[in-house]
Structure 1
C-alpha cells in the first residue's frame, strides 16, 4: 500500500467555493459498501435509506473564530496567529488570559524567546487581543508554538469573537458569505479548528424527518485539528504520524449504541470525525464501546482496519492523498472508493468541504 494509491485528479473547477443554496439540497452519492454500486440522489433523500432503530451519531463541536490577523508589536509587520487548542496544564487560566497551541505566520519572525507579540485590532483600530509567543509545542514536528493570549476587554472570549475569523480550508478562496454556513445547525461548544463538514448538510427539518422515521440521533465531540487539511507526505502511509485530537463520547451515546445493536439497527457515523470518535472509544478488552471524556486519540484508520462500532458513514468528498481518503477506503475498498470519485467527477459533483456528500452504507 502506497500513499499514491489514494491520489486522484481533482479538477479545480469542482472544488466548491461556497455552500449549496439549501443545506440539504446538495447532491448525495449513495454507495453500497460491499459491492460499490452507486446511486445519484439529493441529500434530503437520505431519509429513504434510513430504517427504524438506526442511530445517527454527529460531532456537535463548533468551529472557533481561530484565525487572528494582526501585526507584530514593534515593527508593525503583518502577522497571523491560528489557534489550534487550549493548553490547560502549564499555568492558571484567567478570564483575560490563557495559553494556546498555535500556528503562526511568518514563522521565522515569531519565534519563542524573541519577545515576539502579535497585536490584533478591532474595527476601531484598538488592540483587542495580544498573542505573546512563549514556547515551542513539545514533540511538534510542524512548527506549532505556545502563545499566551491576553486582552483588556472584559473577557478573552469577547475579544476572540470581536476580532477572530472562522477559518476556512485553504482551497476555499475569497469566500465572503455568511460564516455561520461553515457551522452545523446543531453545533454547540467552540473547540474545533475546522468544521465536521459532513454535518453541514443537515437542517432542523431534515433532522426532524429522520426522527419521525424512527431513527435516533446522538452526539459525540471531537476537536477537529488541522490534519483535516493536510495530505500525507510519506510514500508509505504507515509512516505518517497523526496529530492528536481530543474526543468525548457521552454515556447516553454508549447506551444508544447498545440499544441500536439489540434492535438490529445500524450505527451511522456522520462524518469522519464521528467515525474516529466511535472507533476510538472501543474497549478491546471488554469488546464494547465505553464512554470517554475528552480523551486523546491519534487513531489512523487504514485499509485492513477492523471496524468495531460503525456500520455506515455520511461523508463529504476528500482531498487526494489525505488520511480521510484512506479512512473511507478502509470502510469499503480502495477500488470502490476510487470508482465512486471517478463517477462524481464525471457527473460534475461539487467537491470538498462546501461540496456534495456520500452515504456509504
Structure 2
C-alpha cells in the first residue's frame, strides 16, 4: 500500500511533553461497535466486561542514550538491541566520523569499540571493561525519550520515573510500552473488582520503533527485530480466557505484535521466545487479540498502519481527526484510545 494513505496533519501543540498526573487521569477515546465516545482512563473498568484479560508488556527501559567523543568528533548513540553480553546494536549520530575499530569515550570510564556497520547504517558497540553493561549505562546513559519529545526539551530526573510503567520488571527496552504508562495500582484494583484480569509478557522495544517509514510502499519497508517472550503459563491463561468467552485486549502495540507473532492459525497462543519483526498493515487477519488499548501514533508510522489494520484506515483517520479537534494529547506521554473492532 502507498504510505501516503497513512498521512495526516498533526499540529505541533498536540504532542504531549509530560504525562498526565495522576497517570490514570489521561483521556480515553473509545471506538467500538456502538461508535465513538470520550472518557478517561480511570473509567476503563466501566468499558470492559468481566472475564476480559488485559495483556501488559513488563519490559523495563534502560538508560540507552549515550553522548561521547571519538577524538574531536561528537558522537551520539541510541542502543537498539542486545547482540551479546557486551555488544549492543546502536543507531549512531555523526556515524560518518566513525570507522570500524574506532574507540568512543562516553565519559565516566565508559567506552566502546564501534564495529560491524549494517546496511541500515547502525553499528555494533562492544563495551570495554569487566563491569556489566547495565552498570555502565546507569553511570553514563540517559533515558531515551522519543525524538519528538527530546527535540523540544531535555531529558530530566522526572523522566526516570515517568518513562517507566508500573509493570517494568525486565530490563532491556530502549523505548517504553507507552500505553501501560496510564495504569496505576488503584486502576488495577478497580479492574480486578470488575472481574477484568491482567497478564504480562516481555517484548524489549527497540529504537527502530521511532524510525520513519522511508519507503513509498509498505511492501518495501522492513521492521527491525525485537526480542520477546511469552511463558507457557501465560499462553495457557490467554487461551483459557478466550475459551470462557472473555476478550484478550493488548495494552500497547508491543503486546499486540508479540501476541500475534506467537499465535497459530487456530487462534491459540503458543509459548514464544525469540525475535519478531512482524509488520501489520491493512489486510492482516488478527488471530490473538480482540482489542487494543494504545496511544495516538505518528503519521505515516508502522503503528498507525497497525491500528488501521485493526479498525479500518478511513475509520482511524476519522478517529484521529476527532482527537485532534477535541484536544487529545498525542504520542508517548499523551492520551489513549481503546479500540474494540
TM-score normalized with structure 2 length = 0.95
Counterpart selection for 1:160 from 137, 143, 146: 137
Higher-Rg structure is 1
Kindly provide the CA deviation profile for residues 260-317 of structure 1, in whole angstroms up to 9, marking residues without a partner as x. 1121110000000000010000123x65220012x11111111111110100100000
Task: Identify if the C-alpha distance between structure 1 residues 205 and 71 changes in structure 2 by more than 3 Å, giving closer, same or farther.
Answer: same
- Displacement after TM superposition at 1:208 (Å): 1.6
- Inter-partner Cα distance in structure 1 for 2:212 and 2:74: 27
1:119 matched to 2:99? The reply is no
User: Partner of 2:52 in structure 1?
Assistant: 54
Task: Identify if the C-alpha distance between structure 1 residues 130 and 177 changes in structure 2 by more than 3 Å, giving closer, same or farther.
Answer: closer
User: Partner of 2:322 in structure 1?
Assistant: 343
User: Partner of 1:24 in structure 2?
Assistant: 24
3-state SS of the aligned residue for 2:147?
coil
CA contact (8 A) 2:60 2:168 kept: yes
CA contact (8 A) 1:104 1:110 kept: no
User: Partner of 1:10 in structure 2?
Assistant: 10
User: Partner of 2:114 in structure 1?
Assistant: 133
User: Partner of 1:289 in structure 2?
Assistant: 269
Q: Which runs of 4+ in 1 moved over 6 A?
A: none
Query: Which sits farther off after the overlay, 48-57 or 221-230?
Result: 221-230
- Inter-partner Cα distance in structure 1 for 2:76 and 2:121: 14
User: Partner of 1:181 in structure 2?
Assistant: 162
Task: Identify if the C-alpha distance between structure 1 residues 340 and 245 changes in structure 2 by more than 3 Å, giving closer, same or farther.
Answer: same
CA contact (8 A) 2:114 2:125 kept: yes
3-state SS of the aligned residue for 1:241?
coil
- Inter-partner Cα distance in structure 1 for 2:137 and 2:325: 42
> Tell me, which stretches of 5 or more residues in structure 1 are unaligned?
none
1:207 matched to 2:205? The reply is no
- Displacement after TM superposition at 1:28 (Å): 0.6
Give runs of aligned pairs for residues 71-150 of structure 1, distance below 5 A: 71-72=69-70, 75-88=71-84, 93=85, 98-112=86-100, 115-122=101-108, 127=109, 129-137=110-118, 141-150=119-128
- Inter-partner Cα distance in structure 1 for 2:44 and 2:187: 9
CA contact (8 A) 2:80 2:208 kept: no
- Inter-partner Cα distance in structure 2 for 1:102 and 1:228: 13
Kindly provide the CA deviation profile for residues 147-202 of structure 1, in whole angstroms up to 9, marking residues without a partner as x. 110236x5432221111111001000214351210110110111111111101000
3-state SS of the aligned residue for 1:136?
coil
CA contact (8 A) 1:19 1:181 kept: yes
- Inter-partner Cα distance in structure 2 for 1:313 and 1:287: 17
- Displacement after TM superposition at 1:214 (Å): 1.0
1:306 matched to 2:285? The reply is yes
User: Partner of 1:151 in structure 2?
Assistant: 129
CA contact (8 A) 1:269 1:313 kept: yes
**Cα RMSD (Å):** 1.5
- Inter-partner Cα distance in structure 2 for 1:167 and 1:214: 36
- Inter-partner Cα distance in structure 1 for 2:218 and 2:90: 26
1:169 matched to 2:146? The reply is yes
- Displacement after TM superposition at 1:105 (Å): 2.1
> Tell me, which stretches of 5 or more residues in structure 2 are unaligned?
none
Task: Identify if the C-alpha distance between structure 1 residues 10 and 289 changes in structure 2 by more than 3 Å, giving closer, same or farther.
Answer: same
- Displacement after TM superposition at 1:256 (Å): 1.0
CA contact (8 A) 1:151 1:159 kept: no
